[in-house]
Amino acid sequence: MYDLTVIIPTFKEESNIGTIIESVDAVFSRNSITGEILIVDDNSPDRTIEQVRELQKTKPHLSLVVRTDDPGLSQSVVEGFRRARSDIFLVMDADLSHPPALLPVMLAEIRAGNDLVIGSRYMEGGGIKKWPLKRRIISMGATFLGRLLFPEIHDPVSGFFAVKRSVVEHAPLRPRGYKILLEVLGKGTWQKAKEIPFEFVDRATGSSKLGGRTIIEYAEQVIDNARFSWNHHECIVWQEWVKLFRFGAVGLSGIIVNEGVLIYLKGYVQFSLPVASIIAIELSIMSNFILNDTWTFKTEQQHAMPHWWQRLLSFQVVSIGGAAINFIILNALAAFAGIDYRIANLLGILVAFAWNFWVNRRVTWKKSE
Ligand SMILES: Nc1nc2c(ncn2[C@@H]2O[C@H](COP(=O)(O)OP(=O)(O)OP(=O)(O)O)[C@@H](O)[C@H]2O)c(=O)[nH]1
Ligand SMILES: [Mg+2]
């Protein structure tokens, strides 16, 4: 049995296939990994297949699947999942964009208990070398859409990832297009994911197959995964929506606290308006904090901020930021854009709400690594 299976989908990679196989092999021997290399080719018309067959003569751990119908990158990777002869799968491109040197690190992270390990371009330490602006924009758009579904993952559309067999074995994957990782995240059975930064290097040789169709397919895939999460309440995406909903409900309750305290202090205790209002705002922030800490984000067991007062402080600062955003948007839209102040305020509240949720999710109630 192998330690892991490196799955490499290929289409017309005659200029890269030899190099990638040799580099993966070198990493295997340098790190004493008993690995399998599985090439899944869509019947390339060039010399890719012949080259693999030639290398197979000296490499018993090199396997080849040649597919003849339903061509596609994602379909090929899923075929690789089915054919792999180990319990850990690692997917990477053939064109040397993904550094084989990271294989042992990713393997170690899976062995350390992660279900998924993602080579990430969009986090600190990661990046993309030599990409034209158009590709960067398309990729950023795709990543943004993907992150709506998986806010915690920096690069949910990376083509470089390792995954346990159990994550995908029974998952109802509907592979299509280029972004198989999104499908695995959306439909796989996983709890713990870890990202490792890497620098994506644009292919030096061979040709790109990215076309206009891939963008449409991707949009369909995002919608399909959103629907799936709606139907399967236990999945990660759904849990995220639940948090958003609860955070909103808590915000509404804060309005009631704020208004109630204000009416009481101003009307009955006869405090001056500024004093009454500051106390009312502060108390509503406090009650929002308590509800969010014990209800909205109660499933976050190990917080990056372990002490409640750290979270309170963070929540307080974020709330002040949200109030400032609300204030600026309301006044700017009303004064300079001539928008009715009531509409302007609603827009301000909406943006402030998004800010509050986003930043608190990422900072105050962030899970510790
Ligand atoms: N089996 C199979 N592999 C594919 C297909 N399309 C692309 N690939 C492979 O999937 C990997 C990623 O494809 P690339 O064309 O490099 O995609 P990209 O990295 O987004 O774009 P470029 O590097 O600019 O070409 C490479 O190993 C390709 O050979 C396909 O339809 N079937
Ligand atoms: Mg590439």
Is residue 69 within 8 A of residue 40, CB to CB? The reply is: no
The set of residues, in sequence order, having a beta carbon less than 8 Å from that of 245 and lying 6+ positions away, is: none
Q: Is the pLDDT of residue 208 over 70?
A: no
Q: Which of 93, 140, 203 has most ligand 1 atoms within 8 Å of CB, for mutation? A: 93
Compute, in angstroms, the gap from residue 95 CA to the centroid of ligand 2. 5
Report phi then psi at 38, rounded to 5: -120, 110
Closest atom, ligand 1, to C-alpha of 67: 1
DSSP-assigned letter for residue 368: P
pLDDT at 150: 85
> What is the homologous superfamily of the domain 4-231 according to CATH?
Spore Coat Polysaccharide Biosynthesis Protein SpsA; Chain A (3.90.550.10)
Using alpha carbons only, give the angle 198, 72, 95 rounded to the nearest 5 degrees.
35
Atom of ligand 1 nearest to the CA of 8: 27
pLDDT exceeds cutoff 70 at 171:
yes
Res 362: pLDDT: 84
Burial of 321 (0-12, 13-18, 19+ CB in 10 A): middle
pLDDT of 211 > 70? The answer is no
Ligand nearest to the CA of 20: 1
* Average pLDDT of the segment spanning 306-313: 93
Neighbours of ion ligand 2 (CB under 5 A): 93, 95, 97, 203
Residue type, 3: D
The rounded Å distance from CA 178 to ligand 1 centre is 8
Residue 369: its pLDDT value, please?
A: 61
* Ordered alpha helix ranges (H), the chain: 17-30, 48-56, 73-83, 103-111, 133-149, 165-168, 180-187, 212-231, 236-262, 273-291, 308-336, 341-359
User: Mean pLDDT across the stretch 189-194?
Assistant: 91
Most ligand 1 atoms within 8 A of CB, residue of 10, 23, 180, 181 to mutate: 10
Ligand 1 close to Cβ of residue 298 (< 6 A) = no
Q: Which of 49-63, 81-95, 338-352 has the lowest mean pLDDT?
A: 338-352
pLDDT value at position 50?
96
Q: Which of 231-245, 249-263, 329-343 has the lowest mean pLDDT?
A: 231-245
Tell me: pLDDT of 106 over 80.
Answer: yes
Please answer whether residues 16 and 23 qualify as being in contact, where contact means their C-beta atoms are separated by less than 8 angstroms. no
Angle between helices 180-187 and 212-231 (to 10 degrees): 0
Q: Percent of the chain having pLDDT more than 70?
A: 96
25 lines ligand 1 (CB under 6 A): no
Can you tell me the mean pLDDT for 91-109? Answer: 96
- Is there an atom of ligand 1 within 6 Å of 102 CB? no
Residue 142: phi, psi to the nearest 5?
Answer: -65, -40
Report, as an integer, the average pLDDT of 236-256.
88
pLDDT value of residue 236 = 67
- Distance (angstroms) between ligand 2 centre and the Cα of 159 equals 9
Q: Among 243-247, 292-296, 327-331, 340-344, where is mean pLDDT lowest? A: 340-344
Strands 199-201 and 62-66: unpaired
According to the per-residue pLDDT averaged within each range, which of 8-22, 144-158, 194-208 is highest? 8-22
Residue 123 has pLDDT above 80, yes or no: yes
Most confident of 64-68, 125-129, 172-176, 224-228: 64-68
Amino acid at 215: I
State the ligand closest to the CA atom of 42: 1
Most trustworthy range by pLDDT among 78-82, 233-237, 300-304: 78-82
Say yes or no: CB of residue 40 within 6 Å of ligand 1. Answer: yes
How far does residue 20's CA lie from ligand 1's centre (Å)? 14
For 335, the token pair is 């004064």
Q: What is the mean pLDDT of residues 78-90?
A: 97
Pocket test for ligand 1, best of 6, 8, 11, 155 (most atoms within 8 A of CB): 11
What value does the mean pLDDT take over residues 123-146? 87
Mean pLDDT of the chain: 91
pTM of the model: 0.76
Q: Is the pLDDT of residue 205 over 80?
A: no
